[in-house]
């Protein structure tokens, strides 16, 4: 008699799942799978107490993190996966936790997954590298306060550093201003390339973003994005020069915001960018 090997959740090890369903990793889909169920459990724990919470997962792949989220007690997981080869494996996960996993086949950039979630809703994902930043920016742009209670996301370390960057750091830019304006963001831990199959070239990091009830300072979103795009578009230049593409007098703008025109973008904190955005919105 052969005895099927099972993991702690009663499902087979991920390596077997991937082999049985023929899910050879595809680079074009950003497929680097986590096989270590201790690590996926750690990521699920990093999202806090998930009991009674709906979770959006983007890119469940063969379901390692999905299994951890369900085992951690998520009320329901809505998982958006683009690769139809993963659907068989995910159906097995759904059968293990009846009524608690909804798999949506499609491109996360095109699916309105938030509409499928109850509240509170958390987002937990090992994001595909090619769309990770775009998705994060979308989640940060929603009407505030947001529909999500927290984001726990795996990125390449370099992207994670941009998300949490403070003024004065080379990683500080548009992403750090937007994230710092609306959330408190921090890197929780790094994950080495060897933890993935196949291993990517770079280290990854798990980032936690908690929404501020109110953004750090008042500012119209669109104006904030325009001034940060201009300021960091020429980050080595003084602001009096870098802000010219905005089409309003940079000196008047900087004076209204109380900012020295010889400063450079990376020295401005989020509150200063908000002041600049308010001044710009009043003139544009």
> Does 107 help bind ligand SAM (rule: CB under 6 A)?
yes
What residues numbered 176-235 form the site for ligand SAM, per CB under 6 A? none
> Does 80 help bind ligand SAM (rule: CB under 6 A)?
yes
What residues numbered 120-139 form the site for ligand SAM, per CB under 6 A? 126, 128, 131
Distance CA 13, CA 153 (A): 23
Instruction: Name the one range near ligand SAM by CB under 6 A: 103-111, 144-152, 250-258, 261-269.
Output: 103-111
Structure tokens at 138: 């979308």
DSSP 189: E
Quickly count: other Cβ atoms within 10 Å of residue 158's Cβ. Answer: 12
Q: Which of 11, 17, 18, 31 binds ligand SAM (CB under 6 A)?
A: 31
Closest to 32 (Cα-Cα) out of 7, 57, 62: 62
What residues numbered 32-71 form the site for ligand SAM, per CB under 6 A? 32-34, 58-61, 64-65
Residue whose CB is less far from ligand SAM, 59 or 250: 59
Number of residues that bind ligand SAM (CB under 6 A): 23
Closest to 11 (Cα-Cα) out of 49, 31, 40: 40
> Does 81 help bind ligand SAM (rule: CB under 6 A)?
yes
Distance CA 63, CA 123 (A): 15
Beta strands in 127-177 (DSSP E): 148-156
Site residues (vs ligand SAM, CB under 6 A): 29-34, 58-61, 64-65, 80-83, 86, 107-109, 126, 128, 131
């Amino acid at each position: 008699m052969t005895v099927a090997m099972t993991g702690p959740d009663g499902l087979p090890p991920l390596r077997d799942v991937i082999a049985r369903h023929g899910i050879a990793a595809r680079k074009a889909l950003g497929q680097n799978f986590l096989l270590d169920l201790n690590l996926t459990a750690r990521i699920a724990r990093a999202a806090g107490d998930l009991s009674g919470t709906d979770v959006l997962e983007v890119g469940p792949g063969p379901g390692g993190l999905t299994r951890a989220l369900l085992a951690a007690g998520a009320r329901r997981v809505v998982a958006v996966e683009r690769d139809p080869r993963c659907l068989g494996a995910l159906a097995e996960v759904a059968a293990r936790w009846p009524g608690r996993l909804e798999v949506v086949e499609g491109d996360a950039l095109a699916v309105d997954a938030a509409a499928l979630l109850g509240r509170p809703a958390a987002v937990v994902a090992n994001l595909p590298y090619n769309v990770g930043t775009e998705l994060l920016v979308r989640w940060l742009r929603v009407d505030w306060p947001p529909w999500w209670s927290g984001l726990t996301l795996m990125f390449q370390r370099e992207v994670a550093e941009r998300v949490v960057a403070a003024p004065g750091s080379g990683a500080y830019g548009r992403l750090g201003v937007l994230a710092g304006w609306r959330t408190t963001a921090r890197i929780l831990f790094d994950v080495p390339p060897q933890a993935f199959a196949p291993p990517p070239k770079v280290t990854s990091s798990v980032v936690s973003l908690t929404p501020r009830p109110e953004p750090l300072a008042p500012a119209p979103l669109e104006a904030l994005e325009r001034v940060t795009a201009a300021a960091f578009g020429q980050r080595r230049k003084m602001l009096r020069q870098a802000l010219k593409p905005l089409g309003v007098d940079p000196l008047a703008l900087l004076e209204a915001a109380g900012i020295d025109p010889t400063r450079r973008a990376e020295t401005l904190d989020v509150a200063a960018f908000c002041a600049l955005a308010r001044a710009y919105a009043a003139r544009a």
